Every structure is written in C-alpha cells, then in structure tokens.
Structure 1
Amino acid sequence: MDESRSDGFEAAFNASLAGDEHALSPWLDADASDHGGLDVYRNTVAKARVDALAGLYPTIERLVGPDWFRQAGLIFAGVAPPSSPVLDLFGVDFPAWLETFPPALDLPYLAPVARLDQAWSQAHRAPDGATLSGRVATETAPARLFASRSGLHPSARLFWFDWTVPSIWIANRAETLDAREAIWEARPEGLLIFRLEHVVTWRRLSRAEWSFLHACQRGRTFGRAAQDAFSAEPGLNLAAMFAALLSTGALSPLQTESQSHD
C-alpha cells in the first residue's frame, strides 16, 4: 500500500471508529454485509479512549458526572482522535475544546479546571531535577543570594486565576472524600502544582508568593523577585515566605550571577 493510500486508510479508519459506517467502503468487499466485528472493535476503542480521558481529567468527570463525561468524551474523541498509540498523551486539546463545547458553555470553570488536571498529569510525568536546599540558601551571603537566580523544578506548574478555579479543583479531586459544590466567583487565587518526593501535590499561593515564583520562572534574580513580591504585598515577611517556598522543593538550584553569564 503506497503512502498516500495508507494515509487515506488511516483517516477512513478513524472516521469509521467515530461512527461513519461508509468510510471504509473502498477497502471492503462489495458484498460484505457483516460489520459486527468492526462494531465490537469500534465500541472497544471508544471505551478505551473515554477511559483514558477520564484518567487524565478525573476532576472534570466528578464535576459533571460519568454520563455527561462519557458523551462529551465520545464527541471529543471523534473530532480529535489520538495521534499517538500512547493514550496518556490523548486529550491534550481537551481543555481548549471544552471552551467551545456548547453543553459546557454554562459551566465556565470546566476548561480552566481541566487545565489543572492536565498540569497534574504533566507534573507526574515530568523529569526529575535538583532542588534548592534551605541549607544552601541560608549559607549564601544575602548580597550574593539576591543577585542569584533560581528557576522552577521541571515538575512545577504555576497558575494565577481571577476566579475560584483552584478552590473548585481542590474540592473535587478524587482524593477528596465528598465532592463539594462548585462555587464560581470572582476571587483571585493562585496555585502551584508540583512533585515532591515522587508524589504530585499542590499548594495554594498568595499573590506575593505567585509573584516571586513567576519572577523566578522568567529568569529574574532573587532581588527582582523579592521586589515583585513586595509590590504585591507591601507588608510581606520576606524571610518567612522564602522559607515556605523553599520547603516545597519547587525551586531549582542556585545560579550565581557569574554562572548566568556563561
């Protein structure tokens, strides 16, 4: 089978799995009438895709219920079939798709909550990386420390929302015993999702903490990050905040001014 015909078959096969009963007609015998085997395969593949999507977005399934999620998952799989045999990578476009899915338009928190589910999966699969220890930070002279830089651990995912997305996500995670009502209101919230000792976890962030980490993420010095934190919260106890952020293990090792110019 030449490459163009192979690509055509793959597209037709995906269309058939999505429910187009005639997509594979050019590859079937004219008198073939028993498509039962294909129907079984189609149902099995559809279930696998929806199950994979539910594994990647458990908070969304909990918020909308399994029936709603299954129907949405089937529609999504039909318009955005997996591009890789690794089902863990399936659904990368699901949050953006939810923003355009008519039944989800009255649930504006679904897409951003889906992005937090996605960030959890990304943090789980992220490579390992060294972290900045409290001992190194405290043993570094203040002037040298403020002139140094530190990025974020490879697993760290940083968020700031103008609405209560983190609260909704936290309250409806699978490990929460009782799902809570989704209270969607205009209240700013920050969140850090990261992997600590091989376990993905999260931490709520104040505006000052988010500003500090965001500056670090952009390659700013600790001095500039501190300025951003003070701008967000003028009465900030910088030492206490810095110690709390160090304890998360979300900061990468110190990079001195001389190293940053290498």
Structure 2
Amino acid sequence: MSQAAFITATLDPAAPVPRGISDGQGRATTKRFNVYRNNVVVGLKDALGAGFPAVKSLVGNAFFDAMAGAFVRAHPPKSPVMPLYGAGFSAFIAAFPPAASLPYLADVARLEWAMRCAYHAADAPAIAPNRLTDPAAFAARITLAPAVHIVCSPYPILEIHSAAFGGTSPTGAAQDVMITRPQFDPVLQAFPKGTSAILTALNTGTPLGEALERAPHTLDLTAFIGALMSGGAITHLEDIA
C-alpha cells in the first residue's frame, strides 16, 4: 500500500479500506478506518474554520462545512503545520459555484490568509520614526517588513470582514487593505483603490518619494506614511550621502 493510496482513501468517504490495513487477526478494519477517516476530515475542516472565521461567519456553519469538505478532499495538506493549511482556499472559493452569489467572499478569504501570513512572518525591527523627518529620506530606497501585505478588492472587504463579526453594514467601495504587525497581532487599515501601487514600487527598489507619486489622488499621504511608521512597516532606509 502506497502513502498516496492511503491519503486518497482517507479523504474519500466512498473509497474502500486500503489493502493491507487489518486488525491483529488479519481482518479488515472498516469501522475503525471510517472513524479515523472522519476524524481526519473533521480536523482539517476545523483548521479551515479557525483560519477563516469571517468567511465562516458570512456563509454560516452548514455552508462552510460543505465548502470546506470539498476543499479538503481536493486539496489535502502538503505540510504537517496546520497554520500553513488553506493557502489556496480563496482561489477555491472563487471557482466554487455555490459561492457565486457572494462575489466578495474569495477576497475576504484572501484577507484572512494575508493576516495569517503576517502573523507568522519573521520578526524585523523597524527604523526609528524620526528617520523620515530628513527630507533626503524621500530619495532613499526602503525595505518593508516581511509582515507587510496588501490585499486589493473591488469590494469594501475590511468593512465586510468587520460586519462578519457584528460590525456595521458595509457602505464603502473598493479598498486596498494594508496589513502590518507592529507587535504581536496584525493591524488592518483600508486605503483607496490604487494604494497598492506604492508598496509594489517600494518592493521593486523605487525610492520612497517616487513611489509615493504613484498614489491615487484620493489617498491621504500623511495618514498612509503614518500607518507605515506606526505599523513598524519600514525596516531599512538606504543611507543617503
């Protein structure tokens, strides 16, 4: 019996017990294997529920259980580390026909996955805030912390995420949500559509001032720079001669 055959049988409730699995008397252990199979799938679905609580809240327990079950059987874990499970869940949701009436759901899942990535990202000490008081700093290239992420959506996903936990109903439009991690927990802040162009430019080595020129006209640059600093998002500022 191969490992692949065992995994396939574990995730498929209709599959027969793999050959070679028996009790001490050589008899098939169908009931025991079914209990094991059920526990594995339930555990993986619980892991998804813990990792995507807003998605689960938005669709309800029954819908989420069915959707998670379909995902688990199509995408078994590739790592024993459960916090890493669910990387493809947002793409799965986007292609899951029963979720088509909730077009924002996949983006909420992307947001929750980005939050998890930020939470588990490597530590990186931030520069002192006064480093940006030097006008020359805007000609420098900067390095962003590994925890910094931005999720773009045509929907007000931060408001939707908040509403999933009892917040007010969404009233906004498209959002770029920046995630930082100043201490232990991720911090989410919404900015106008197009703000992601700044972080994209910074990540490709564009000097700070030039990157900020790519901001949408509706962006409050002072608030954005403040969010970078308060979020500990800048870990290195290129020395300017």
Q: 1:20 aligns with which of 14, 24, 42?
A: 14
Q: Which residue of 1 aligns with 2:202?
A: 216
Q: Which residue of 2 aligns with 1:248?
A: 231
- Call closer, same or farther: CA 1:12–1:193 in 2, change over 3 Å: same
- Partner SS state of residue 151, structure 2: strand
Q: Which has the larger radius of gyration?
A: 1
- Partner SS state of residue 190, structure 1: strand
Give the number of equivalent residue pairs: 238
Q: Is the contact made by 1:156 and 1:192 (CA closer than 8 Å) also made in structure 2?
A: yes
Amino acid at match of 1:20: A
What's the CA shift for 1:58?
0.9
Structure in which a larger fraction of residues adopt helix = 1
What's the CA shift for 1:163?
2.3
Q: 2:110 aligns with which of 93, 110, 115?
A: 115
**Take 2:104 and 2:195, find their aligned partners in 1: how far apart are those partners?**
23
| Larger mean Cα displacement after TM superposition, 77-86 or 207-216 | 207-216
Q: 1:155 aligns with which of 147, 150, 169?
A: 147
- Partner SS state of residue 193, structure 1: strand
Q: 1:206 aligns with which of 192, 196, 209?
A: 192
> TM-score, normalization: structure 2?
0.87
- Call closer, same or farther: CA 1:85–1:162 in 2, change over 3 Å: same
What's the CA shift for 1:244?
4.4
The alignment status of 1:190 with 2:182, answered yes or no, reads: no
- Partner SS state of residue 103, structure 1: helix
Identity across matched positions, percent = 29
Q: Which residue of 1 aligns with 2:158?
A: 166
> TM-score, normalization: structure 1?
0.80
Q: Is the contact made by 1:129 and 1:153 (CA closer than 8 Å) also made in structure 2?
A: yes
Q: Which residue of 2 aligns with 1:145?
A: 137
Trace 1:116-131 onto structure 2 (pairs within 5 A). 116-131=111-126
Q: Is the contact made by 2:17 and 2:30 (CA closer than 8 Å) also made in structure 1?
A: no
The alignment status of 1:68 with 2:63, answered yes or no, reads: yes
- Partner SS state of residue 190, structure 2: strand
What's the CA shift for 1:233?
1.8
Extract unaligned runs of 5+ from structure 2.
Answer: none
- Partner SS state of residue 144, structure 2: coil
| Larger mean Cα displacement after TM superposition, 208-217 or 163-172 | 208-217
Q: Is the contact made by 2:176 and 2:194 (CA closer than 8 Å) also made in structure 1?
A: no
What's the CA shift for 1:134?
1.4
